[in-house]
Amino acid sequence: MNATQHVTTFGQSLWLDNLSRSLIRDGTLAKLIAEDGVSGVTSNPSIFQNALAGSPYYADDLARLKTAESDAELRYEALMIPDVQAACDLLLPVYEASGGNDGYVSLEVAPRWAYDAARTVAEAQRLAARVDRRNLLIKVPGTPEGVSAFEALTTLGVNVNVTLLFSVAQTQAAFDAYIRGLAARSHAGADIRRSKAVASLFLSRVDTLVDIRLAEIGTQEALSLRGKAAVAMAKLAYQRYLGTFRGAAFTALAQQGATPQYLLWASSGVKNPDYHDLLYVEPLIGRETINTLPDKTLAALRDHGRPAARVEEGVAEAEAQLSELARLGIDMENVGNRLQVDGVKLFEASYQKLLQQTG
């Protein structure tokens, strides 16, 4: 058993934060599933932009689509949806063995609808129908409008990955929306046993912004907190998860067979080269969680990871660290709100470049 397989014994799933036709056709994804215990895949516009630029397997289809399809967005979907379907098919045995609890592939609604709940619902339904796989998650942003759409989609039976969460409050809003959506679906007499959702809390971007502010303060006390905000935030978010889905608010739904909305650690590759390359992995291993890893971080975990169940450790220390940040004038909810706005802009920029590449 290697380190990646060992992680799964603690109740955490490892998903690959990457998808391309090369990974599928060269057998790399199948190997990661078989040898490393990878049990899911996440994608976003930046990932597909890199896939289209770096894989040789799109050229023939793209040349054909340029003459057959005039709409750039439909060309993009015609290129990427087969990759999503192929990944879903590779992961279907994981999905079936887990009783529908694992083995998912995520596909994102176009970022320009991040502040339009009704259009997000419509696009999510359209994409889910086009992919037509049981183990698909539609990615919806954790903006207020996106959370509203998520609640509606849960009621409709569309499974969702709520993405671009950067704070405990944003994460709790997603949890609450999931419970409301499940309750409405149950009240309508629909089956909630196959409903699935995850909440993707982004980590490295939080430290990047907080570290800049700590450096501006410049005191020894401030500098000692660099690289600690994101893990502390994640540990407290996990406590919220336990309180929400192991508490009274979820009891009736759990009795009907509903599953909790697992926390997914996103943006788990370090951006500061001075930090340990598993900073957002090793401290956050624990039951009923997911970590979606870029290729480089997955390789690091395989090479020198030391897995242990640590997500429930150091909670008091995490609370103290966030309290100290607040005392220094760093409001983590303000940080999260800014990063969410910036995240939507970054994904929209990548999406537009992606459409240009298909033109």
pLDDT at 112 over 90: yes
Per-residue model confidence (pLDDT) at position 312: 98
Tokens 């480089």 correspond to 296
Query: pTM of the entire structure?
Result: 0.97
Per-residue model confidence (pLDDT) at position 14: 98
pLDDT tens string 170-196: 999 999 999 999 999 999 999 999 999
Average pLDDT for 143-163: 98
- The residue among 112, 106, 100 whose CA lies nearest residue 199 is 106
Average pLDDT for 214-231: 98
pLDDT tens string 27-74: 999 999 999 999 999 999 999 999 999 999 999 999 999 899 999 999
Average pLDDT for 137-157: 98
Domains of the chain: 3-203+234-312+340-357 (3.20.20.70)
Per-residue model confidence (pLDDT) at position 264: 98
Q: If residue 187 lies in a helix (H) or strand (E), which one and from where to where?
A: helix 168-187
The verdict on whether 235 is a catalytic residue reads no
Per-residue model confidence (pLDDT) at position 248: 92
Q: Is the alpha carbon torsion for 314, 210, 117, 128 positive or negative?
A: negative
pLDDT at 326 over 90: yes
pLDDT at 213 over 90: yes
Buried/exposed code over 80-99 (b: 16+ C-beta within 10 A; e: otherwise): bbebbbbbbebbeebbeeee
Q: How far is CA 359 from CA 47, 66, 261, 323, in A?
A: 18, 7, 38, 50
Asked if 95 contacts 63 with a C-beta cutoff of 8 angstroms, the reply is: no
pLDDT tens string 66-87: 899 999 999 999 999 999 999 9
CA angle centred on 270, ends 162 and 317, rounded to 5°: 80
Which residues, listed in sequence order, are joined to residue 40 by a DSSP beta bridge? 104
Per-residue model confidence (pLDDT) at position 1: 85
Q: Beta-carbon neighbour count of residue 272 at 10 Å? A: 13
Split at pLDDT 50, 70, 90, the class of 357 is confident
Tokens 């005191």 correspond to 219
Helices H, strands E: what count in the chain? 16, 8
Burial class (CB in 10 A: 0-12, 13-18, 19+), 20: buried
Across the chain, what does the average pLDDT equal? 97
pLDDT at 359 over 80: no
Catalytically annotated residue among 31, 139, 235, 353: 139
